Amino acid sequence: MPVYTHSACLGHDTGPGHPESSQRLAAVIQALHDQLPGLDWREAPRATRGQLLRVHDEHLLEAVLEHSPAARTQLDPDTVLSPSSGEAALRAAGAGVAAVDAVMHGDAERAFCAVRPPGHHATGGQAMGFCLFNNVAVAAAHALDKHGLSRVAVVDFDVHHGNGTQAIFEAEPQVLYLSSHQQGLFPHSGARRERGLGNIMNVPLPPGTGSRMFQEAWVERLLPELEAFRPQLVLISAGFDAHWRDPLAQMQLDAADFAWLTGELCAIAGQHAAGRAVSLLEGGYDLQALRECSVAHVRALMAG
């Protein structure tokens, strides 16, 4: 199975003490290398301007790419731009595009993108919440425009709501956005009543939610919606910050829960999408949890 990554993604420097550090991605890459020797490692290309402009405004591209700060600049209290951040953001978004091309060309059924910065908080016009470009949204828009798909699902199990992905697609019925997330956390969106055109479904979960409640939410609400949509491609915003060890949230999942959900998503992709699923790394801020969860998730994608 292809795994797209790029060394530039390690060069995005958020500064000392920032939870979204390059150690996160280094831990994921190392764990996948050590524990899943059969992976097909590929260098992520840069996303093109045209690919980014499908979902982002010109002024966001300028802010991220044309402004080359000599040192670090804060775009907001959480979101940092360092001299190498533009290149990292281009490679992270380009990974998703290349992975979509690979599964659409039948080169592989599934693919994983081991990238940072993460993407799901970035809106069309604004970088936020550690995210510069919305990698999964760029990938979804590419699948619609380049490959002519008309039903693309974005499944987001990061512990935070993917407000950016929702905002980009809430008026686009060709994209279904499904999210489970912890209630009351950043970015404070993702209420059940936010339905877009009926193509958005949010299931906020209380702090302390463990395996049973999480699996129930997916089995009873989110997976039936995905099934009914009959996606031609399943994209996954794979954040592992709902793990019990994570320092930024209070959910109680473990690696087996992520493996379980991945298996369910692959089964639906198998029924409707010729098996096609592309997963992109989002959050996850405990290194040990990230190692275990990314291996469990990628193993389930390979088995799917």
Which residues of the chain form contacts with Zn ion (CB under 5 A)?
Answer: 158, 160, 239, 241, 283
Nearer CB in complex with Zn ion: 42/297: 297
Residue of closest CB approach to Zn ion: 283
CA 204 from centre of chain: 18
Nearer CB in complex with Zn ion: 110/160: 160
Angle ∠(36,38,39) on CA atoms, nearest 5: 80
What number of residues does the chain have?
304
Q: Which residues contact 64 (CB under 8 A, 6 or more apart)?
A: 81, 85, 86, 89, 127, 132, 133
Nearer CB in complex with Zn ion: 42/116: 116
Nearer CB in complex with Zn ion: 229/240: 240
Instruction: Quote the CA–CA distance of 254 and 210 in Å, as a whole number.
Output: 9
Minimum CB distance to Zn ion, residue 286 (Å) = 12
Minimum CB distance to Zn ion, residue 62 (Å) = 26
Contact 234, 99 (CB under 8 A): no
The pair phi, psi for residue 268, each rounded to 5°, is: -70, -40
What residues are annotated to the active site? 121
Q: Which two tokens stand for residue 206?
A: 């209380």
Minimum CB distance to Zn ion, residue 118 (Å) = 7
Instruction: Quote the CA–CA distance of 82 and 88 in Å, as a whole number.
Output: 10
Minimum CB distance to Zn ion, residue 18 (Å) = 14
Q: Which residue has tokens 């991220």?
A: 64
